[in-house]
Amino acid sequence: MERDSKIYIAGHTGLVGSAILRCLRSQGYSNFVLRTHKELDLERQADVEAFFEKERPEYVFLAAAKVGGIYANSTYPADFIYNNLIIEANVINAAHKYRVKKLLFLGSSCIYPSLAAQPMKEEHLLSGPLEPTNEPYAISKIAGIKMCQAYNRQYGTNFISVMPTNLYGPNDNYDLMNAHVLPALIRKFHLAKLLSESKYDEILRDFQIHGNMPDSLLGSSYFSTNSNCLLPSAYSLLIDHLSKFGIKISQHPASDLCPPTSNVFVEVWGTGNPRREFMYSDEMADACVFIMNPNKDALTSGLASTSASSVASSLNPQTSIINIGIGEDITIRELTQMVAEIVGYKGEIRWDTTKPDGTPRKLLDVSFLHGIGWKHKTPLQDGLRLTYQDFLKTKQTRETRKTREMRKTRQTRQTKKTLKRIYSPYSTPSLYASPYLTVGVLDTNKLNRV
């Protein structure tokens, strides 16, 4: 890619896409064509083809996808397979039709068998049964890989697929109903910390900013007069709602305005024994850009450390697939404790062993990626600190934006009321009687533009 090449990042506002955009900008790329979901629905084939016909991007990063954790995958399996299949089919086909020079498709490590040998090599694809809890999503990603390979074979396109490990970082999804394990843990411990400190107003603001606000808690009448304390009825509603997400208290008093919350505990799914690999999103983005535009000298010098068959397979456009990860894993129990310490939560952690663990271990073999000259630099603990800082910063930014929007709405309403009062035929007669005022006819429809 040249610095002025026209680049389209599908899904540029999400965790992966935004990281790729930051990385490209930091390296001097500036000619981007970007569309939000509202501006371009990738599930509509005609719209996607019209976009490609008009914009003619040279390089495409396909990072748009419907993603989620175990709960979301188990609850919405049809959505996960349908939405992702449609997005992939539309973008990949349009990229071929309008002669994109190179496309990078982002898959997922869940494409590998649930009991695959560890660490998982690229060649393990389709070598065994998938993990049942996210099988529909995995199948949609495998279909995307195979579609890239089929187009490469039939049309000679240059479409490559990368399989990132579990990612975390800025712009992640913190919705407690469908977030992945790491952002879900960050928000759970943050809310539990606020609950233990009786900061109910901040808990409600968190719900407004990141979602999951129950209708029963909307409004300000739930706070006692001149106090941050919730009324007993509101307190019960809040505790019941938080318990749905595993943020609980050992006792449930409702007689006091400010009941003690020192008995807060967080409940986490499973046993905590599965091992997972986690990668900071900005580093994943750097690896993607490296693969999309590799340094030929580094590529050539690095091949000696990788088997000939693996190199040939990964560099062959007809079968190209490359793992992206750090080559290290950690138990969910260790991760949970690490997140709690970084957030500052000091309460109890309990494990709900009636809930599924998922695959026992997921560690990618990244020997090929290392062999061609790319390695990660950000340790997990450092990445988690950066992510939590971004979570707090994003919360403040969204809160400021929301406050600004609310103030603007109030000002607009007040302006409309004022103008209607001034121009009303029933206003003060002296105003209209004044010989020094020219009063015209007001088009009230234009008030909507104020």
Just list the catalytic residues. 137
Strands, E, within 2-144: which ranges? Answer: 7-10, 32-33, 59-62, 102-106
Helices (H), 330-366: 332-343
State how far the alpha carbon of 410 is from the alpha carbons of 207, 220, 398, in Å: 22, 17, 18
* CA–CA distance, 246 with 217 (Å, rounded to integer): 18
Residues in the chain, how many? 450
Pairing of strands 264-269, 247-249: antiparallel
Pairing of strands 278-280, 166-168: parallel
Task: Match 């449609």 to its residue by tokens.
Answer: 86
- Identify the H or E element spanning 402: helix 380-423
* CA–CA distance, 256 with 115 (Å, rounded to integer): 52
Q: 368 and 311 in contact (C-beta within 8 Å)?
A: yes
Eight-class DSSP state of 223:
B
362: closest CA among 277, 439, 436, 291? 277
Pairing of strands 59-62, 7-10: parallel
Supply 256's token pair: 């006091």
108: closest CA among 77, 76, 79, 140? 140
Residues 6+ apart with CB under 8 A from 270: 332, 351, 352, 353, 355, 356, 357, 358
State how far the alpha carbon of 266 is from the alpha carbons of 195, 207, 208, 249, 400, in Å: 11, 17, 21, 8, 29
* CA–CA distance, 166 with 149 (Å, rounded to integer): 24
